[in-house]
Amino acid sequence: MAIIAPSILSADFSCLGKEVRAVVEAGADWIHIDVMDGHFVPNITIGPPVIKALRKITDLPFDVHLMIAQPEGYIADFVEAGANIISVHVEASTHLHRTLTEIRRLGCKPGVVLNPATPLETITYVLEEVDMVLLMTVNPGFGGQEFINAVSPKIEKLREIIDRLNLPVAIEVDGGANLETIAIMARAGADIFVAGSAIFNQPDYKAAISRLRTVVDR
Ligand code: DX5
Ligand code: ZN
């Protein structure tokens, strides 16, 4: 069954705890947390103290998407804050293999993320180290952007590679999800679907999540 991971980037930050509780009650599977540093991406969001505070609200997996330069220096902080899955960008980590194995060593599940323009070949030699590959379907930095359709064949190709090698690696997709684009991503072979504005910009989170779920579980 597909996993739906609401991205709290589109939540109302003035009552973040309440917002997280609301999506938990609305049937979210994971909570997707976007960490941005104003260097790797042109936006700044939240860090470990906020994640630590949110950890008190739910036991659902925290899917922490690091959009920060040199993520290797901060892995322990995010583990300690209560992350379950930590994903780092190929484009941000020079010693990617080391960073990914460090995430596992510290007790979290490692994920590797690719920007839309980054080819799949860049992760060939780390595929066995990760639990998840996150394919960006927008350029990271902001919620509410338009889905980049050119990434669809990349999702298909990755599905093919993972199935051929029989690896226990899930495919997550992030950016521009709505009822139409999430169907495209599901057909291409994604397993985990991040959705920010498609959930938080709706009046009824439960209805929004179940509509998305109906499409991806079809
Ligand atoms: C973009 C973030 C996404 C974003 C998705 O940099 O990584 O997780 O919040 O938002 P939507 O679903 O609105 O495109
Ligand atoms: Zn994200």
The CATH number of the domain where 204 resides is what?
3.20.20.70
Averaged pLDDT in 10-residue chunks for the chain of 218 residues: 97 98 98 98 98 98 99 98 98 98 98 98 98 99 98 98 98 98 98 98 98 94
In the annotation, is 174 catalytic?
A: yes
CB burial of residue 100 (10 Å; 0-12, 13-18, 19+): buried
Q: What pLDDT was estimated at residue 212?
A: 98
In the annotation, is 34 catalytic?
A: yes
Q: Above 0.95 for ipTM, yes or no?
A: yes
CB burial of residue 124 (10 Å; 0-12, 13-18, 19+): exposed
Question: Which residue's alpha carbon is nearest to atom 1 within ligand 1?
Answer: 140
Q: Which ligand lies nearest to the CA atom of residue 7 in the structure? A: 1
Question: Looking at the 3D structure of the chain, how many domains does it have?
Answer: 1
Q: What pLDDT was estimated at residue 218?
A: 79
Q: What is the C-alpha separation between 212 and 214, in angstroms, rounded?
A: 6
Coil, helix or strand at residue 68: coil
Q: What is the C-alpha separation between 131 and 196, in angstroms, rounded?
A: 22
Q: Which of 177, 216, 180 is nearest to 200 (CA)?
A: 177
Q: What pLDDT was estimated at residue 164?
A: 98
Q: Residue 3 forms beta bridges with which residues? A: 192
Alpha carbon 111 to its chain centroid, in Å, reads 9
Q: What pLDDT was estimated at residue 21?
A: 98
Q: What is the C-alpha separation between 68 and 64, in angstroms, rounded?
A: 11
Q: What is the C-alpha separation between 134 and 67, in angstroms, rounded?
A: 12
Residue 140 belongs to what domain range? 3-216
Query: Ligand 1 centroid to 144 CA: how many Å?
Result: 7
111 is in an annotated binding site: no
Coil, helix or strand at residue 63: strand
Q: What pLDDT was estimated at residue 66?
A: 99
Would the pTM count as exceeding 0.95? yes
Q: Which of 174, 202, 212, 216, when mutated, tests ligand 1's pocket best, judged by the most ligand atoms within 8 Å of its CB?
A: 174
